[in-house]
Amino acid sequence: MEFEDEAIVLGARSHGETGAIVHVLTESHGVYAAHIAGGASRRIKPLLQAGSHVAFAYRARHTDQLGAATLEAAGPSPDLFDEPLGLLGLQCACAMTQAVLPERDSQPGAYHALSGLIGLFAFPDIWPAVYVRYEAGLLEALGFGLDLSACAVSGDHDDLIYVSPKSGRAVGRTAGEPYKEKLLRLPGFMLSSQGGLAEGDVVRGLELTGFFLERHVFHPHNKPLPDIRLRLKDSLAS
Amino acid sequence: MSGAGPEIERLMALLSKLPGLGPRSARRASLALLKRKDQLLIPLTRAMQDAADKVETCRICGRLSTQNPCPTCADPARDQTMICVVEEDSALWAMERVGAFTGTYHVLGGLLSALDGIRPEDLRLDSLVQRVRSGRVREIIMALPATVEGQTTAHYIADRLKSFDNQVEITFLARGVPVGGELDWLDDNTIAHAFKSRR
């Protein structure tokens, strides 16, 4: 099996003394892991940083085998070393993508969304809201998308401020009032990009997506949300 | 199998586990040791036994040493108001080789890593905070790798030490063109950083 594709590096760990195992999100082939010969070398190591755009050439003898790959820089890497929060967001986005998306399942939408998000990490006013929408997109890619089109009770399209933790559907203000303690808050920016961003909205958005990611992705595997995701929420809350 | 006996086989098997050595080079190293038993094998055995008996982790900085506190922490000539935070002992040895730093160190024992599940509590951070709390420290130098994980860890530590802002200055190692480096071979970010930090 052989292919070449554009990819975003999600993370890498060293393998042996000179090699590395890299996880990437490719444009057309989904998440792939591969052995990189010489991955510990000075030439390759900078490419193995989370968020790097690379040209990924993969080769394996069998489809069920961990193949080998070569990498070449395909674009500028995000320069976020002086942006503590952006750096945390980048690592979190890559870690969540790797943890959430199944391997070898084509997700071009997720690739383009992550690529766009990486370009925004240098803009602290913008990226947190986009990150929340990215997580909602990951849920959708897995088939657990939130239905925010209309109120699950009344069918109304206006004044949607809650989400049902049971169905993942939006609930309007009036219909949700008696159950508001049990419902999740729906921040306006998740309904449309013109929704506006009020104080605390990003954290509410992270609570919303975190709830469904935990329920559908992490809890079935007896895992908690990754530590970095919790740290990101704490950092954005403070 | 060399057929030389189980003791020699075991020696080869253990040597082949060392970094830089594979089965073939372990065989060569074993042979060299066995041929020079008095000059190499016996002194090496003693040295390894001594190291195994005496080496421990410095209770102040976390580095490996046969003294506790380590010679750096115990040296009154070292500037105790400066702490250089490094990932592992190898980074500390590199800094000491240069001899440009006269303060003390703190070895974290790793970096925060989402992929490997390394969390703040897995690193030697509490003891760093304690050292800062003692009130003697004036500067913390983050000498962590210029990687996403390294810089995330550095920023996390800086954030954790925020409450000591008026007492401690936190600095980061410069990034830019290495000595002997040609611009043609440098990655885009390094060149961008070098421009930003130009003097």
Per-residue pLDDT tens, chain B, 199 aa: give them. Answer: 667 788 999 999 999 999 888 889 999 999 999 999 999 999 999 999 999 999 999 999 999 999 999 999 999 999 999 999 999 999 999 999 988 899 999 999 999 988 788 899 999 999 999 999 988 899 999 999 988 899 999 999 999 999 898 889 999 998 888 888 888 888 777 888 888 888 8
B69 preceded by cis ω (within 30°)?
Answer: yes
Contact between B87 and B108 under an 8 Å Cβ cutoff? The reply is yes
Task: Give the CATH number for residue A15.
Answer: 2.40.50.140
Q: CB distance from B5 to chain A under 8 Å?
A: no
How far is the C-alpha of B84 from the C-alpha of B72, rounded, in Å? 12
Beta bridge partners of A11: A23
Q: What pLDDT is stored for residue A43 in this prediction?
A: 82
Name the B residues in 23-82 with CB < 8 Å from any A CB. Answer: none
> pLDDT for B103-127, tens place per residue?
999 999 999 988 788 899 999 999 9
Q: Is A115 exposed, middle or buried (0-12, 13-18, 19+ CB in 10 A)?
A: middle
Query: Residue B194 domain-assigned?
Result: no
- What's the distance, CA B52 to chain centroid? 19
Quickly state the pLDDT bin for A238 (edges 50, 70, 90).
Answer: confident
Q: How many CB pairs below 8 Å do chains A and B form together?
A: 62
Task: Identify any residues that bridge with A22 across adjacent strands, giving them in sequence order.
Answer: A12, A34
- A170 in any annotated domain: no
What Å distances lie between residue B96 and B55, B90, B178, CA to CA? 19, 10, 18
* DSSP code, position A76: P
Chain A: residues touching B (Cβ < 8 Å): 10-13, 17, 23, 45-46, 49-51, 73, 76-77, 79-81, 84, 87-88, 90-92, 94-95, 98, 226-228, 231, 235
Q: Is the pLDDT of residue A195 over 70?
A: no
Chain B CB contacts of A84 below 8 Å: 152, 155, 158-159
Residue A99 falls inside a structural domain: yes
**Is residue B36 assigned to a domain?**
yes
Domain boundary, last residue among A25, A51, A73: A73
Q: How far apart are CA A63 and CA B107, in angstroms?
A: 42
Q: Is residue A162 part of a domain?
A: no
Q: Report H helices in chain A.
A: 84-100, 108-120, 127-141, 173-176, 201-213, 227-237
How many angstroms separate the CA of residue B81 from the nearest CA in chain A? 25
Task: Report d(CA A55, CA A75) in Å as an integer.
Answer: 9
* Segments in chain B forming alpha helices (H): 6-15, 23-35, 42-54, 71-74, 89-98, 126-133, 148-160, 188-196
Asked if A99 and A35 sit in the same domain, the reply is: no
B197 located within any domain: no
Q: Give the SS3 label for residue A172.
A: strand
Q: Which position has the higher pLDDT, A81 or B188?
A: A81
For residue A51, give the nearest of B148, B156, B192 by CB distance.
B148
Confidence (pLDDT) at B181: 82
On whether residue B193 sits in a domain, the answer given is no
Q: Does ipTM come in above 0.85? A: no
A47 and A100 both lie in a single domain: no
Full-model pTM: 0.84
Backbone angles phi and psi of A171, in degrees to 5: -135, 135
Cβ separation A46–B114 shorter than 8 A = no
Co-location of B20 and B65 in the same domain: no
Of B119, B187, B188, the CB nearest to A227: B119
- Whole-angstrom distance, CA of residue B52 vs CA of residue B105: 23
What pLDDT digit, counting tens, does each position of A121-164 carry? Answer: 989 999 999 999 999 999 999 999 999 888 888 888 888 889 99
Our measurement of the distance from residue B96's CA atom to the centroid of its chain's CA atoms, rounded to an integer in Å, reads 11
Query: Are residues B44 and B66 located together in one domain of the fold?
Result: no
Please, which contacts does B17-24 make with residues 24 or more away whose CB atoms are closer than 8 Å? B19/A17, B20/A17
Q: Where residue A230 falls among pLDDT bands split at 50, 70, 90?
A: very high
Instruction: Supply the CATH number for residue B36's domain.
Output: 1.10.8.420
Among B19, B35, B54, the domain boundary falls at B54
Residue A107: name the closest of A143, A78, A132 by CA: A143
State which residues form the domain around B12: 6-54
Query: What does the pLDDT read at residue B176?
Result: 87
Number of compact structural domains in chain A: 2
Chain B contact probe: residue of A218, A227, A229 with most B CBs at under 10 A: A227
Residues B121 and B167 occupy one common structural domain: yes
Residues B41 and B99 in one domain: no
